[in-house]
Amino acid sequence: MKILLSGEGGQGIQTMAKILVGAAYNQHYKVNYMPHYGVEMRMGISRAFVTISSDKITYPKFSKADILSVMTKRNLNLVKEFIDKNTKVINAIDLVDLPEERNLPTTSFNMIVLGIIVKEINKSNIKIDKEKILEEINKFLGKKPDLTKNRVAFEVGYDLADNMYSKLLKSVKPDKFEPIINKDDKKEHIIYPDICKGCGICLIKCPVGALSWDKNKKNFLGKPIPKVDMEKCIGCGICEDICPDAAIKVNKKSKTN
């Protein structure tokens, strides 16, 4: 069974792969896991090549996947080469709002997708025990405050109806994001939803509390993005300086007579 997990750096792709491989290994399957990402991991594409077999695995990478999971639109062109007529494609792009709908943290999205992957694996001659997966979730996420909800998220994915994630990739349309510009007579504050990953560092570091989560606007990952209160904002530029994704720009206007 050849499985390709594909998403953005920061979505927990490698954690999913390690949990899956650990559970399969504990059931005495032959396993191989090869991560694929660059030095830009947080801003770049993150992929994991996983092979699970009852027989010896001779080569770690593969050209076609038996199961392919896709979690963001920016991956579409990079994963098409791994698809053939026998590939089960898990299109999780439209599921980004599911954690919120199920009263789960947005960070549990990857556990929902992991549940779907295990469900699809179990339709083959490879059978992954759910309890083994939950043991590995405890191992990798046991120190996280949302451990219980991550376990629930896995069960949500495992029980999800097939039609929820079977949308053809060619029907997925790229998002079009416009910069969000706020300005007054002293400054201009710009947020770029197409690269903001919603990490929240800017909210924490703002010295005057001018930033909060926008309940109506989301980024390319489907997560809330910051919004600025221009009356509070002093134009210090700290949010721009500390943003790991260069998703914020602050311009102070020149004084004119």
**Tell me, what's the pLDDT at 56?**
92
Mean pLDDT by runs of 10 across the 257 residues of the chain is 89 93 97 78 76 91 94 81 94 89 92 98 97 95 88 97 89 78 94 89 96 88 88 95 93 70
d(C-alpha 90, C-alpha 112), whole Å: 12
Q: Are residues 233 and 149 in the same domain?
A: no
For the whole model, what pTM was predicted? 0.74
pLDDT score of 257:
42
Do 59 and 127 belong to one domain?
yes
Host domain of residue 211: 180-252
DSSP per position, 88-153: EEEE-GGGTTHHHHTT--GGGHHHHHHHHHHHHHTTSS----HHHHHHHHHHHHTTSTTHHHHHHH
How confident is the model at residue 6, as a pLDDT? 92
> Which residues pair with residue 187 across a beta bridge?
252
Among 171, 196, 214, the domain boundary falls at 171
Q: How many domains does the chain have?
A: 2
Tell me: do 24 and 49 sit in the same domain: yes
Tokens of 144: 């996280």
Confirm if 103 and 113 have CB atoms less than 8 A apart: no
Q: Is residue 39 domain-shared with residue 147, that is, in the same domain?
A: yes
Q: What CATH number has the domain bearing residue 9?
A: 3.40.920.10
207 CB-contact burial (10 Å; exposed 0-12 / middle 13-18 / buried 19+): exposed
123 and 219 fall within a common domain? no
Specify whether 127 is located in the same domain as 205: no
Domain assignment present for 145: yes
Q: What is the pLDDT of residue 129?
A: 97
Alpha-carbon distance values, 211 to 24, 73, 141, 214 (Å): 44, 27, 29, 9
Residue 257 belongs to some domain of the structure: no
Inside any domain, residue 206: yes
For residue 11, the model assigns a pLDDT of 81
- Report the C-alpha gap between 174 and 5 in whole angstroms: 20
- pLDDT score, position 76: 79
